[in-house]
């Protein structure tokens, strides 16, 4: 091979390498363009960043059905999709004065069945939600409280002028600005089973006693949390027209009955009725407000050592079957305002909030489906169907 041939070979190799580099750059550029296009599509549909659907540990409902907006805080989801998710029906509400439990699995299944992308949106929060329906919820029909902690302006002062529109009467209405603010925060804490304890700024004392048959009050607060030092705006209304806005700074505390450890509870110990008690406590934050029902604690196992006086959280416990297969349980049957207590035999084990099958102790052909509400306790009624089925081959 001559030197000229060597030079030609070297030139050919250099050209080939240059072509390879150029081709590689074009491939990388094409991949980046495709990735950017995919990102833009996802971002435009609101799926890129995703959002959070957080299950509350306890809520109060007033309607006949329970929707996602009743039991969850929805964060970081586009408004159109949030409206769809909020309206997903999860179950029938308990009877007035009754209660039921919604577990996380039921929530996830309902969302998936409704077409919600559970990959794009995370579902978090409590393992189960205790749902309570009061016998008589004294809330005007045109009031609304958002579940994300940011309430809409609330119409809390009813007079003769608007009583015909709301179904209320002037006798039920707050008679002063102070009453209006107190009722507003009482409504805020109703779903937690708590009541408001307010301390007003002395500079506002002269306005708190403002009252009159012609006045209505529209109350709203600024900021996310309704607890702590809260800035409140009260619009004074006369026949639907705003005549004055009164700014207030209110120190707000929520008083709530919670389950606390009566005595030290060891790690991995099963909680008994003697280990816990109900105590009314004051809270200035909503993050750790504990559990309000001993039935959700008794029979569960402690995940850590709990000191006497500790507020018991759901995360402090791990589930144990509250009903064992073959166990004779207390069966509460609820029809309207009538409650009948009897006994039945469980055909399967169940955790708190689980729906299990029970067999009548006197007639093996008679079976019911009920929800586990406590150690050895099952409830039939409300959204849970009960029926007669023939036991085939059993």
Burial class (CB in 10 A: 0-12, 13-18, 19+), 43: exposed
CATH 3.90.1210.10 corresponds to the domain 153-320: yes
Pair 141, 113: CB distance under 8 Å:
no
Q: What pLDDT score was predicted for residue 121?
A: 83
CA distance 384 to 13: 78
CATH fold match for the domains 45-137 and 153-320: no
Q: Where are the domains of the chain?
A: 1-42, 45-137, 153-320, 328-388
Query: How many whole angstroms separate alpha carbon 257 and alpha carbon 362?
Result: 40
pLDDT at 160 over 70: no
**Cβ–Cβ under 8 Å, residues 154 and 144:** yes
Token readout for 220 is: 């709203």
Question: Is residue 92 pLDDT above 80, yes or no?
Answer: yes
Cβ neighbour number for residue 147 with a 10 Å cutoff: 18
Residues whose CB is less than 8 angstroms from the CB of residue 252 and which lie 6 or more positions away in sequence, other chains included: 185, 196, 197, 198, 226, 227, 228, 229, 230, 284
Q: How far apart are CA 117 and CA 371, in angstroms?
A: 28
**Whether residue 345 has pLDDT greater than 80:** yes
Give per-residue pLDDT as tens, 109-133.
899 888 888 878 888 877 888 887 7
* pLDDT tens-digit series, residues 171-228: 455 578 888 999 999 888 887 888 889 998 877 777 888 887 778 889 988 877 888 8
Fold of 328-388: SH3 type barrels. (2.30.30)
CATH number of 45-137: 2.60.480.10
Q: Which residues, in sequence order, are bridge partners of residue 339?
A: 334
Cα gap 71→192, rounded to integer Å: 11
Q: What is the mean pLDDT of the chain?
A: 75
3-state helix, strand, coil in the chain (%, to 5): 25, 35, 40
- Percentage of residues of the chain with pLDDT beyond 70: 74
pTM of this prediction? 0.44
Q: How would residue 298 be classed by pLDDT, with cut points 50, 70 and 90?
A: confident
Nearest Cα to Cα of residue 60 among 219, 218, 223, 292:
292
**Coil, helix or strand at residue 317:** strand
Mean pLDDT of 374-378: 86
Listed in sequence order, the residues at least 6 apart from 2 whose beta carbon sits closer than 8 Å to its beta carbon are: none
pLDDT at 264: 94
Of 272 and 146, the one with more pLDDT? 272
Q: Which letter does DSSP use for residue 272 in this model?
A: -
């Amino acid at each position: 091979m001559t030197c000229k041939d060597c030079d030609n070979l070297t030139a050919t190799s250099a050209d080939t390498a240059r072509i390879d580099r150029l081709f590689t750059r074009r491939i990388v550029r094409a991949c980046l363009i495709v990735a950017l296009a995919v990102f833009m599509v996802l971002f435009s549909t609101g799926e890129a960043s995703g959002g959070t659907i957080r299950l509350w540990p306890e809520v109060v409902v007033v309607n006949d059905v329970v929707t996602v907006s009743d039991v969850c805080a929805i964060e970081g989801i586009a408004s159109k999709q949030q409206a769809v998710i909020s309206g997903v029906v999860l179950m029938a509400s308990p009877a007035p004065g009754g209660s039921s439990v919604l577990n996380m699995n039921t929530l996830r299944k309902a969302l998936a069945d409704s077409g919600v992308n559970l990959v794009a949106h995370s579902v978090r929060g409590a393992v189960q939600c205790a749902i309570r329906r009061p016998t008589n919820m004294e809330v005007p029909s045109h009031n609304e409280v958002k579940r994300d902690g940011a309430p809409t302006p609330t119409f809390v002062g009813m007079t003769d002028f608007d009583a015909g529109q709301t179904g209320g009467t002037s006798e039920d209405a707050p008679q002063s600005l102070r009453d209006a603010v107190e009722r507003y925060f009482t409504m805020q804490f109703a779903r937690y089973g708590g009541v408001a304890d307010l301390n007003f700024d002395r500079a506002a004392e002269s306005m708190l006693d403002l009252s009159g048959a012609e006045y209505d009050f529209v109350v709203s607060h600024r900021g996310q949390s309704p607890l702590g030092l809260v800035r409140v705006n009260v619009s004074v209304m006369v026949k639907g027209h705003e005549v004055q806005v009164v700014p207030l700074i209110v120190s707000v505390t929520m008083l709530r009955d919670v389950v606390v450890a009566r005595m030290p509870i060891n790690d991995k110990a099963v909680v008994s009725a003697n280990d816990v008690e109900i105590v009314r406590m004051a809270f200035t934050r909503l993050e750790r407000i504990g559990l309000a029902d001993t039935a959700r604690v008794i029979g569960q196992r402690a995940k850590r050592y709990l000191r006497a006086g500790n507020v018991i959280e759901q995360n402090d416990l791990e589930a144990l079957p509250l009903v064992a297969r073959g166990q004779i349980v207390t069966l509460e049957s609820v029809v309207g305002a009538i409650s009948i207590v009897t006994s039945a035999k469980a055909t399967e084990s169940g955790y708190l909030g689980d729906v299990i099958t029970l067999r009548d102790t006197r007639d093996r052909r008679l079976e019911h489906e009920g929800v586990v509400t406590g150690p050895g306790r099952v409830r039939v009624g409300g959204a849970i169907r009960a029926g007669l089925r023939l036991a085939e081959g059993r």
